[in-house]
Structure formats: C-alpha cells, structure tokens
Amino acid sequence: MLDVIKRLVPTGIKQKIRLAQVRKKFGKKIHSIVPLTTRLGKDVAIGQAVEIFMDDVEIGDFSYINRYSQVYSGKIGKFCSIGYGVRIGLPEHPIDIVSTSPKIYRNIKSQDIKDVYSPPVIGNDVWIGANAIILQGVTIGDGAIVAAGAVVTKDVPPYAIVGGVPAKVIKYRFPDSTIVKLLEIKWWDKPEEWILENVEKFSNVDDFIRFVEEAK
C-alpha cells in the first residue's frame, strides 16, 4: 500500500521532501539533493542543480560547490571554492576489453566489469574555476588554483596555478620558501575562532607567516 502511495506522489513533491530531509541533516546552505551518506563538514554550501553521485564523497569545512557542478567521487578539503559547472572524478570506461561501450561490458555475464573509479583528492584552500574537469586518481595540492575550462589529468603541486587541456603549471602563487612555510602552518586546520580573530593577518602572506612564527 505504501509503495502505491509513493507512486502517486508527484515527482516535484518527492524532490521537495527529499531536499527537506537533506537540509534537516546538513543545514540550509544545501540547495541540491545529495546522498545522505555524503560526509559534509561545517558550513559547507552546495548550489542549485549540483549532483553528487557516490555515497563516499567527502567535503571539508567551509567549502562550497557552485551551481551545475558534478562530483562523481573523491575527497574535497577545507575552504575550497568549486566553480560553476565543474566535474570531479568522472568514471572511466574499461579500455582493456574489445569495446568501451557500457552496452557491451555491462552485459558480459562471465566477468564483473564495471566503470573504473579512482577517487581524486582535492586539498585545502583550492580554487577550481568554472567548467574545469578533474579526472580520476589525481591529487590537487593545498592552495592550488585550477583555471576555468582546464582538464586536470595529472597531480597538481601545492600552490600551483594550472590551466589548459591537459592542464599544465602556469606559475606558482608564492616562492618555494613561502609555500613550505604555509604547508607547515596548515592554517585551515586551526580552530575557526583563531581564523576569525586573525583574519586581517591573511591580507599579506609574509606578515601572516611572521605573525604565526612569532606566536609560537
């Protein structure tokens, strides 16, 4: 009887009920239906029409995902900015059999052949521009920037700026010595109260590092 009632409920109402369930668990900053098993950190914001496909996706504190993005698999760190229309961790078809068509390999009964998943890892304080694509298995380092429209096929070093198809390093945000110190500080792991109290120090990277070192 319950199944009959569920079928009679219009799809739009079902979606509203589902979204209400998601917001009850994750908060009002979620504007898309996501799996309830998704691991969301504090104050994560998810825009309209964002799709999260796999149950084990993890998104860190204070990160946001803009509208029309898709996250198939992977881990996203803290304070990340994911732009409009980004695609992360797209599944890959098997390439070592006769055909790459799902119509073929999903119907092979003698073997359990599935789409290939190797979840990407996106570090902390990463900015990914609109319509970028992050392929399977890559790691994007802390503080990196991915230009709009880039296709990331290989690991991105911390604080690198990459762009193009395939994405290549354009430059680094800071000198090597500064990057080493920022990676040692790991400000994104500090308590929210500390970050808010000292947010003015973030405006100058040298002053910020000096402040942290003097406070030790």
Give me the residue spans of the domains in the chain.
2-173, 174-216
pLDDT tier for residue 26 given thresholds of 50, 70 and 90: low
Residue in 92, 76, 212 with CA at minimum distance from that of residue 144: 76
| Amino acid letter, 195 | I
Q: Is the pLDDT of residue 29 over 50?
A: yes
Chain position carrying tokens 């990331």: 152
**Rounded mean pLDDT of 8-20?**
52
Q: Tens digit of pLDDT for each residue in 88-142?
A: 998 888 888 888 787 877 888 777 777 777 899 999 999 999 999 999 999 999 9
CB-based burial label for 112 (10 Å; 0-12, 13-18, 19+): exposed
Say what the pLDDT of residue 163 is: 98
Distance CA 83, CA 28 (A): 20
User: Could you give the residue numbers annotated as active site?
Assistant: 93
168: left (phi over 0), alpha (psi -120 to 50) or beta: beta
Tell which wins on pLDDT, 13 or 10.
Answer: 13
Q: Say if residues 15 and 31 touch (Cβ distance below 8 Å).
A: no
Report the percent of the chain where pLDDT is more than 90. Answer: 59
Pick the CATH number of 2-173 from 1.10.3720.10, 2.160.10.10, 3.40.47.10, 3.30.2290.10: 2.160.10.10
Task: Give the mean pLDDT of the chain.
Answer: 86
Give the model's pLDDT for residue 114. Answer: 72
Residue bearing the bigger pLDDT, 86 or 104: 86
